[in-house]
A = this chain, B = another copy of it.
Amino acid sequence: MPKQVDYEGRRRQIAEAVCLLADEHGPEGVTMRDVAARAQVSLGAVQRCFSSKEEMLLFAIDHVGERITERARARLAGSPAQSAATALGHAATEIALLREENRAEARIWLAFVAKAAVNEQLAAPLRTSYASLHDLLARLITEAAGSAPDDEVAAPPDPQREARTLLALADGLTSHVLMGHLPTQEAEDVLHAHLVGLWERLGTTGPRHAV
């Protein structure tokens, strides 16, 4: 029997290298040779892990999507005691990737979104990630609305639509920050103000403590 290697681990290692390079030069600027060098493996090793460059990029985008969704979920699990409204705020700011330390992930994400608009192959995994985020937000919104005083839930807004709004707003803000149209602080203000409005519409008083 031949030698055995941890392919899955190496694929992840290579995906990390793809992300680093895509962050620096955009996904089109990612070359197999650069990926191999960054991941500290040979070009041949990269070729053995992925049968083509396209497949490598597909794996990388899935990798990033899972990381973002997972982090949003983890942030939620990390503060379970607070209200649904607070959780919603945390999830939204997490998704918007506005913090400086998430700038790289945001650039990668935006780059792949743009590519997906032209390449149906890339669009599929992105849609999966977005559907997952949408579900998460919609669930939180429904939950937050449910915790409102009974006399206020006369006309609750459509949670699905509110989730779509929030998700689109977060994405738009992210791209505006990335291209330097908005400073991070203003984007956070916009998102916070929108959440305040959403809480009012839901009939809740918002989180018990300031966000």
Q: Which A residues contact B (CB, under 8 angstroms)?
A: 24-26, 28-29, 107, 110-111, 113-119, 123, 126-127, 130-131, 134, 157-158, 161, 164-165, 167-173, 175-176, 178-182, 186-187, 189-190, 193-194, 197, 201
* Residues of B with C-beta under 8 A to A182: 164, 168
**11 A-B pairs in the complex with CB atoms less than 8 angstroms apart:** A26-B119, A28-B28, A110-B117, A113-B175, A113-B179, A117-B179, A130-B179, A168-B169, A168-B172, A169-B172, A171-B176
In this complex, what residue of B is CB-closest to A130?
B181
Q: Kindly provide the distance from the CB of A180 to the nearest chain B CB, expressed in whole angstroms.
A: 6
Given contacts A164-B182, A172-B168, A190-B161, contact A110 B113 (CB under 8 A): yes
* Residues of B with C-beta under 8 A to A190: 161, 164-165, 168
Q: Kindly provide the distance from the CB of A5 to the nearest chain B CB, expressed in whole angstroms.
A: 33
Question: Are the CB atoms of A116 and B179 closer together than 8 Å?
Answer: yes
Partner of A25, one of B111, B113, B118, B181: B118
In this complex, what residue of B is CB-closest to A131?
B181
Question: Are the CB atoms of B114 and A113 closer together than 8 Å?
Answer: yes
* Residues of B with C-beta under 8 A to A28: 26, 28
Question: Are the CB atoms of B176 and A130 closer together than 8 Å?
Answer: yes
In this complex, what residue of B is CB-closest to A171?
B172
Question: Are the CB atoms of B165 and A194 closer together than 8 Å?
Answer: yes
* Residues of B with C-beta under 8 A to A169: 165, 168-169, 172
Question: Are the CB atoms of A24 and B118 closer together than 8 Å?
Answer: yes
* Residues of B with C-beta under 8 A to A130: 176, 179, 181
In this complex, what residue of B is CB-closest to A170?
B172
